[in-house]
């Protein structure tokens, strides 16, 4: 077997091992993010007019995402193929938090906790959110 073939085989095995680690890390981030979001009680939102009042127990409506500022890292390549991350308009990648109905607070909680786990695992990311 030639040197080049051995090198390619070694790099492939290394990548496979690294990607398995990313899979484990992402699953743990999602697990802890889900637990945090499900255990979070949003601040109730009250909307009122002159004659009517509506109570929204899930709090304000909004969106949240996990941002990877660099889209050319090994984790970013894996995340795009395996974890539904997409290219972000301003560069890098993002993961759209689609669960938890319209509750911005629960989505933010998921994103914050997942980023905490990913950052601890050496992945550069941060949560973002906005109200609807």
CA distance readout (Å), 111 to 2, 35, 51, 79, 93: 46, 12, 37, 15, 14
**Tell me, what's the pLDDT at 3?**
87
- Does 125 fall in a domain? yes
- Does 3 fall in a domain? no
**Tell me, what's the pLDDT at 1?**
63
**Three-state SS for 129?**
strand
Task: Please count the structural domains in the chain.
Answer: 1
- Does 75 fall in a domain? yes
**Tell me, what's the pLDDT at 130?**
96
- Does 9 fall in a domain? no
**Tell me, what's the pLDDT at 26?**
98
CA 35 to chain centre: 14
- Does 103 fall in a domain? yes
Which residues of the chain carry a pLDDT beneath 70?
A: 1
DSSP one-letter code for 44: P
- Does 8 fall in a domain? no
Length of the chain: 132
**Tell me, what's the pLDDT at 73?**
95
**Domain span at residue 126?**
18-131
**Tell me, what's the pLDDT at 88?**
95
pLDDT by residue (tens digit) across 116-125? Answer: 999 999 999 9
Report the alpha-carbon distance of residue 16 to residue 12 in Å, rounded. 6
**Tell me, what's the pLDDT at 10?**
87
Half-sphere exposure of residue 56: CA atoms within 13 angstroms, side-chain side:
13
Helices (H), the chain: 3-39, 74-82, 104-120
CB 59 within 8 A of CB 132: no
- Does 6 fall in a domain? no
- Does 1 fall in a domain? no
Half-sphere exposure of residue 31: CA atoms within 13 angstroms, side-chain side:
6
**Three-state SS for 90?**
coil
Whole-model pTM: value is: 0.90
């Amino acid at each position: 077997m030639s040197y080049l073939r051995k090198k390619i085989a070694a790099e492939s095995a290394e990548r496979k091992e690294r990607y398995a680690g990313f899979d484990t890390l992402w699953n743990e981030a999602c697990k802890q993010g889900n637990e945090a979001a499900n255990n979070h009680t949003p601040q109730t939102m009250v909307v009122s007019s002159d004659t009517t009042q509506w109570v929204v127990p899930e709090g304000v409506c909004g969106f949240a995402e996990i941002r990877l500022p660099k889209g050319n890292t090994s984790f970013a390549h894996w995340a795009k193929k395996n974890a539904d991350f997409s290219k972000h308009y301003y560069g890098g990648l993002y993961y759209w938090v689609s669960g938890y109905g319209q509750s911005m607070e629960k989505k933010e909680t998921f994103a914050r906790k997942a980023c905490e786990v990913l950052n601890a695992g050496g992945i550069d990311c941060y949560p973002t959110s906005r109200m609807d």
